[in-house]
Amino acid sequence: MNEVSVALYNKLTGGTALTALLAGTTSVYESLVPRGAALDAVVFSLQGGGDANWTPRRRKELRYMVKAVSDGSVKTAGAIDAQIDTLLHRGTLTVSGWTSISVMREADVSYAETTPEGRNYWHVGGVYRLRIGDT
Amino acid sequence: MASINISVKLDKRRLDMLSGGLKAKEQAVLDKAAFDVEALWKENIVAKGVVDTGAYLNSVHAGPGENEHQRIISDGVEYGIHQEFGTVALAARPCAAPAVAEVEKGFAKAFEELLR
């Protein structure tokens, strides 16, 4: 959902304590860090979910992964994740055309990646359940 | 002096039978949910083209958890997490999370049915 992507981007880039830890104040990307972009960065992407269809009112339950990607250390990635958590968990989102019901962190994500060239990257973040309803 | 004696006998046989049946049904619901997640996870791997050798696809399996109220569905390859959550050069192609989300929709209702 594009509206949710915009809402997440605005929320994350609006957190100065978070962006101070990133390569730039707009180092927040959906799905993928663009080739050549500087790290550290935040990446978010839809993991699953959709319409709840429990009541006649339209409501969506979406799981988004939001993680830090660092080429520095797992500690750095963890510090960025802590700021992401502060911004999102039990927070609110401004989603155009929708009412934000809740944002809850429900799983932690942490892993390392070694590229064929031998570079190491650390990914630390969480999976957040976003509940939004029609206005 | 006259007295009234009241004796109450609690016959739990029916209650025990019901609770015993409930446990078996709970296990069946958990098993079904776990195998549904496994099946959908595998479907997603194929649908999203996350298949090269088939090792990831074939490694996904449901099994018992740490106690009788838990099931664990997992993969057995080290790169599964890279597919699920992405790498620095590869966007995430989640296959497990959508499967869990789909099964979750009917999970609460399945447990409600147990108590009817």
Give residue B24's pLDDT. 82
Give residue B55's pLDDT. 93
Domain that holds residue A96: 2-134
Mean pLDDT of chain A: 93
Cβ pair A65:B85 closer than 8 A: yes
Q: How far apart are CA B79 and CA B73, in angstroms?
A: 16
Give residue B1's pLDDT. 60
Q: Which of B86, B89, B100 comes nearest A48 by C-beta?
A: B100
DSSP conformation class of B32: H
Average pLDDT score over residue span A24-37: 94
Q: What is the ipTM of this complex?
A: 0.82
Nearest Cα residue in chain A from B99: A48
Closest CA to A40 of A18, A61, A21, A57: A21
Sorted by sequence, the CB contacts under 8 Å of residue B34 that are 6+ apart come out as: B62, B63, B71, B72, B73
Domain that holds residue B90: 28-114
Average pLDDT score over residue span A112-131: 94
Give residue B17's pLDDT. 67
DSSP track, A36-98: T--SSEEEEEEEEEEE--SSSS-EEEEEEEEEEEESS-HHHHHHHHHHHHHHHTT-----TTE
Q: What is the CATH number of the domain that holds A88?
A: 3.30.2000.30
Residue located via tokens 């509206």: A3
pTM: 0.82
Q: State the total domains in chain B.
A: 1
Whether B89 maps to a domain, the answer reads yes
Q: How far apart are CA A90 and CA B65, in angstroms?
A: 29
Q: State the total domains in chain A.
A: 1
Whether B15 maps to a domain, the answer reads no
